[in-house]
Chains A and B, each alone.
Chain A
Amino acid sequence: MHHHNQATPSPSGSTGTLALVGHPNVGKSVLFHRLTGAYVNVSNYPGTTVEVARAGARFDRSSSLLDTPGVLALPARSDDERATIRALLNENLKLIIQVGDAKNLRRTLNLTALLAELGVPLVMALNMADEAKARGVTVDTDALSKALGMPVVATVATGGEGISALSANLGHTCPPAPMLRYDTESEEAIASIAAMLTEHAPHPRLSARGLAILLLGRDGEVENWLTAQPHGNEILAHVAKLAPIGARDSLPARLARERGRAAEALAHTVTKQAATGGQSLSLRIGQIAVHPIWGWPLLLLVLLGVYFFVGDFGAGTLVGLLEEDFFGEILNPAVTDFVRAYVGPEWLADMLVGDYGLWTMGMTYALALILPIVTTFFLVFGVLEDSGYFTRLSVVSNRAFAAIGLNGRAVLPMVLGLGCVTMATLTTRILHTPRERLIAIFLLALAIPCSAQLGVVFGMLSGFSFQAAAIWSVCIVLILLVTGWIAGRLVKGQRVPLVTELPPMRLPILSNVLKKTSGRLKWYLLEVIPLFLLGTFIMFVLDRMGALPWIIEAGKPLVTGWLGLPPEASAAFVMGFLRRDFGATGLFAIGSQLDMIQTVVGMVTITLFVPCIASVMIIVKERGMRTATLMLAIIMPTAFFVGGLLNHFLRLFPHIFS
């Protein structure tokens, strides 16, 4: 998913950048796709563009288009807002395209009031005109355009409406006039800072007045930029004196309030609200989804749907067809015969199609076992994401997350973690504080099994009984709650109460869901296949060198003594270092030797065991080497401790679990 979202270098020969800027969930990414043909992860969940995406513009190949993360407001406070300000500060901007919400013009104009001060040509795409119409809202775009002194185009990005009119206006070169004049005292402060900036630290593109307003609003990114300029600290000291942070009637608060008033006044003059015939179906479904009583049956229905599609159809039917019927009966015997017949040295043939063969183990695991499961998971995840259900789920689950020091916003990374923990670790950026991100990343690394692993776990446990699967599930949920509870108390900082917009429930567009699924699958396979092949190769080498028996022997006290597993299970934990699902599959291979307690203990331990290499690398990238090492130092002993404890506990009741 996120390779689409990484900031990429400007295409060579680009003469300038056009930046899409706007609130979360107003359709920037869909518009980006319409204007560039490039695909960005688009979804009906605020905060899905985690970093800035860039592509060549369709209408002007010499320019590049940036899709910035949604901003709730500027000056920047959240990571997404900081990323947007960074883009505005550092890009060779020739135009800002503000993407607004036609049904909520007041909020849109609140942001316009700031963007219009930056001294960069501005065009407004007033998007979701269809949703506004459905709610009886009409905006006089001509009057708005005249009032703002910039082109305003009504668009429906999902349906492609207004895109050509918007494209025709993208050559606009005139910066708009400021939308408001602040009160005298504020204007004096702005003028004094702007004068200092003009004299000592002029920005090559952005106006001194715009930067002064951001600075007086205490924008951290502009402050960072200024620190690197000559006399920057001097100007910052002056700003700090004029605009102390946090005071109730301080300058930052007053500036924001005045922008709000100006936006309200203008919105009022150009918007008409007609009476509508009661609540729309979308609104009603949305309300049921967060209803204190009806929300739960709906959640159960959604979970059942996910289970039948991913667990039953994906992990059962599709895996059966692919792994057993196609790979097991047809493809692998044919490949094995071919390799044995034509590939010379025996060791090479073994490396390809032996017990630890690159094809018979690595590729078969990746393509026959994992691919069907993750494909069905990503499909259903995409549908839920685009429908707007996940934000409702964050409301329903908020109380549970409060118990582990998080808020309901964490539901998206946690659910995505059930698909791919690595991807989910990146998505923790949507959480607002470093504290929340740290807790969520830790819990993902410890106790959230990815879909590939879930498939293997349930495949093995269902071979015994419902009881086995229930014990595994209870253990994992308990560990999640207990460690989350402890982490919530140990990690410094306050829990942030949830305040979230609930975007309208929408019928997902199939093509968007398919595009998103294929993007995620591509990302997943590029990550998983090399690791599976590397893992298989390491296993092959260890086996050929005779090291596996040594590892098995060395691991005996822990694996056999404490966990009560057969000695061969050590090999599975070696495999688990590469990927947890790979490790689980290793246990799957010796499944016939395991009784029910051993299977449950093995599955719980491997679920909690180290996250895959890719996840670890992402944790290092996001949180640094020190935190990643600390997390691993906690996770590995915890996995073995819990596994052993469970082993000894379950063996107290041999008549129940034998």
Chain B
Amino acid sequence: MTASTERIRLTGTPIGHNVHLAELGEEIDPLQREQLHAYGLSAQQTITVLQQRPMTVVMCDHMELALEHAVAQHIWVEGK
């Protein structure tokens, strides 16, 4: 993987890539945003994309997290 600081949507991140979480978009419901923070999805956190269909599945601190595309598409990440 090439180093990059471009922001892309989590849904557009290829499977197997490690990325830094850049931002949780405003489109995500505030309560769900809190929920994501509680799961550990906060800025600069490294996550690994495991799967994109039927839902986006990421690994974050040894925890697998499944996110519906309606949420994952508003999560912005940067190449590591």
B-binding residues in A (CB < 8 A): 72-73, 77, 101, 103-104, 106-107, 110, 132, 135, 137, 245-246, 248, 253, 256-257, 260, 264, 283, 286-287, 290-292, 295, 391, 394-396, 398-399, 407, 494, 496-502, 504
List which B21-71 residues lie within 8 A (CB) of chain A: 26, 29-32, 34-40, 42, 50-51, 53-55, 57, 61-68, 70-71
**Cβ contact within 8 Å between B68 and A499:** yes
Interchain nearest-CB distance for B50 vs A (Å): 6
Which of A248, A291, A502 has the most chain B CB atoms inside 10 A of its CB?
Answer: A502
**Cβ contact within 8 Å between A246 and B68:** no
**Cβ contact within 8 Å between A72 and B39:** yes
**Cβ contact within 8 Å between A395 and B38:** no
**Cβ contact within 8 Å between A497 and B35:** no
Q: List 29 A-B contacts (CB under 8 A).
A: A72-B38, A73-B38, A104-B40, A104-B61, A104-B62, A106-B40, A107-B39, A107-B40, A110-B38, A135-B62, A245-B30, A253-B34, A257-B37, A257-B42, A260-B37, A260-B42, A292-B51, A395-B55, A396-B54, A398-B55, A398-B68, A497-B68, A497-B70, A499-B67, A499-B71, A501-B66, A502-B57, A502-B66, A504-B64
Partner of A501, one of B26, B64, B70: B64
**Cβ contact within 8 Å between A77 and B64:** no
Q: Which residues does chain B contribute within 8 Å of A290, judged by CB atoms?
A: 51, 54-55, 57, 66
Nearest neighbor of B32 in chain A, beta-carbon distance: A499
Interchain nearest-CB distance for A222 vs B (Å): 16
- Knowing A73-B35, A499-B71, A502-B57 are in contact, say whether A104-B63 is a contact too (CB < 8 A): yes
Q: Which residues does chain B contribute within 8 Å of A256, judged by CB atoms?
A: 34, 37-38
Interchain nearest-CB distance for A298 vs B (Å): 14
- Knowing A257-B42, A290-B55, A395-B55 are in contact, say whether A501-B65 is a contact too (CB < 8 A): yes
Q: How far is the CA of A248 from the CA of B30 in the complex (A)?
A: 8
**Cβ contact within 8 Å between B65 and A502:** yes
**Cβ contact within 8 Å between A73 and B34:** yes
Nearest neighbor of A136 in chain B, beta-carbon distance: B62
Interchain nearest-CB distance for A495 vs B (Å): 9
Interchain nearest-CB distance for B66 vs A (Å): 5
**Cβ contact within 8 Å between B40 and A502:** no
- Knowing A499-B67, A501-B63 are in contact, say whether A292-B40 is a contact too (CB < 8 A): no
Q: How far is the CA of A278 from the CA of B15 in the complex (A)?
A: 16
Q: Which residues does chain A contribute within 8 Å of B71, judged by CB atoms?
A: 497, 499
**Cβ contact within 8 Å between B54 and A395:** yes
**Cβ contact within 8 Å between B35 and A499:** yes
Interchain nearest-CB distance for B27 vs A (Å): 11
Q: How far is the CA of A491 from the CA of B10 in the complex (A)?
A: 31
Main secondary structure of the interface of B (DSSP, over half): mixed
Interchain nearest-CB distance for A249 vs B (Å): 11
Q: Which residues does chain A contribute within 8 Å of B62, judged by CB atoms?
A: 103-104, 132, 135, 137
Interchain nearest-CB distance for A212 vs B (Å): 19
Q: Which residues does chain B contribute within 8 Å of A257, judged by CB atoms?
A: 37, 42
Q: How far is the CA of A287 from the CA of B55 in the complex (A)?
A: 12
Q: Which residues does chain A contribute within 8 Å of B37, judged by CB atoms?
A: 73, 256-257, 260
**Cβ contact within 8 Å between B66 and A500:** yes
Q: Which residues does chain A contribute within 8 Å of B53, judged by CB atoms?
A: 292
**Cβ contact within 8 Å between B63 and A107:** yes
Nearest 3 A-B pairs (CB), nearest first? Answer: A73-B38, A497-B68, A502-B64
Partner of B36, one of A104, A246, A291, A499: A499
**Cβ contact within 8 Å between A77 and B39:** no
Known: A248-B30, A395-B54. 10 other contacts (CB 8 A): A77-B35, A104-B61, A106-B61, A395-B55, A396-B54, A496-B32, A499-B35, A500-B66, A501-B63, A504-B64
Nearest neighbor of A246 in chain B, beta-carbon distance: B30
Interchain nearest-CB distance for B64 vs A (Å): 4
Q: How far is the CA of A443 from the CA of B51 in the complex (A)?
A: 31
Q: How far is the CA of A103 from the CA of B62 in the complex (A)?
A: 6
Q: How far is the CA of A264 from the CA of B71 in the complex (A)?
A: 24
Q: Which residues does chain B contribute within 8 Å of A496, judged by CB atoms?
A: 29, 32
Which of B29, B36, B38, B65 has the most chain A CB atoms inside 10 A of its CB?
Answer: B38
Q: Which residues does chain B contribute within 8 Å of A135, judged by CB atoms?
A: 62
Q: Which residues does chain B contribute within 8 Å of A264, judged by CB atoms?
A: 42
**Cβ contact within 8 Å between B36 and A287:** no
Nearest neighbor of A131 in chain B, beta-carbon distance: B62
Nearest neighbor of B64 in chain A, beta-carbon distance: A502
Q: Which residues does chain A contribute within 8 Å of B30, judged by CB atoms?
A: 245-246, 248
Q: How far is the CA of A107 from the CA of B18 in the complex (A)?
A: 20
Which of A77, A253, A256, A497 has the most chain B CB atoms inside 10 A of its CB?
Answer: A497
Q: Which residues does chain A contribute within 8 Å of B36, judged by CB atoms?
A: 499
Q: Which residues does chain B contribute within 8 Å of A501, judged by CB atoms?
A: 39, 63-66
- Knowing A499-B71, A500-B66, A502-B66 are in contact, say whether A287-B38 is a contact too (CB < 8 A): no
**Cβ contact within 8 Å between B63 and A395:** no
Interchain nearest-CB distance for B29 vs A (Å): 8
Q: How far is the CA of A213 from the CA of B34 in the complex (A)?
A: 16
Q: Which residues does chain A contribute within 8 Å of B67, judged by CB atoms?
A: 497-499
Partner of A107, one of B31, B61, B64: B61
Interchain nearest-CB distance for B31 vs A (Å): 6
- Knowing A107-B39, A497-B32 are in contact, say whether A291-B65 is a contact too (CB < 8 A): no
Q: Which residues does chain B contribute within 8 Å of A286, judged by CB atoms?
A: 64
Interchain nearest-CB distance for B25 vs A (Å): 11
Q: Which residues does chain A contribute within 8 Å of B40, judged by CB atoms?
A: 104, 106-107, 110, 260
**Cβ contact within 8 Å between B34 and A77:** yes
**Cβ contact within 8 Å between B68 and A498:** yes
Partner of A407, one of B51, B54, B68: B68
**Cβ contact within 8 Å between A77 and B31:** yes
**Cβ contact within 8 Å between B57 and A398:** no
Q: Which residues does chain B contribute within 8 Å of A132, judged by CB atoms?
A: 62
Nearest neighbor of A256 in chain B, beta-carbon distance: B37
Interchain nearest-CB distance for A75 vs B (Å): 9
Q: Which residues does chain B contribute within 8 Å of A77, judged by CB atoms?
A: 31, 34-35
Interchain nearest-CB distance for B42 vs A (Å): 5
Nearest neighbor of A111 in chain B, beta-carbon distance: B38
Q: Which residues does chain A contribute within 8 Å of B39, judged by CB atoms?
A: 72, 107, 499, 501
Partner of B26, one of A248, A253, A292, A295: A248
Q: Which residues does chain A contribute within 8 Å of B35, judged by CB atoms?
A: 72-73, 77, 499
Q: Which residues does chain B contribute within 8 Å of A137, judged by CB atoms?
A: 62
Q: Which residues does chain A contribute within 8 Å of B64, judged by CB atoms?
A: 283, 286, 501-502, 504
Interchain nearest-CB distance for A396 vs B (Å): 7
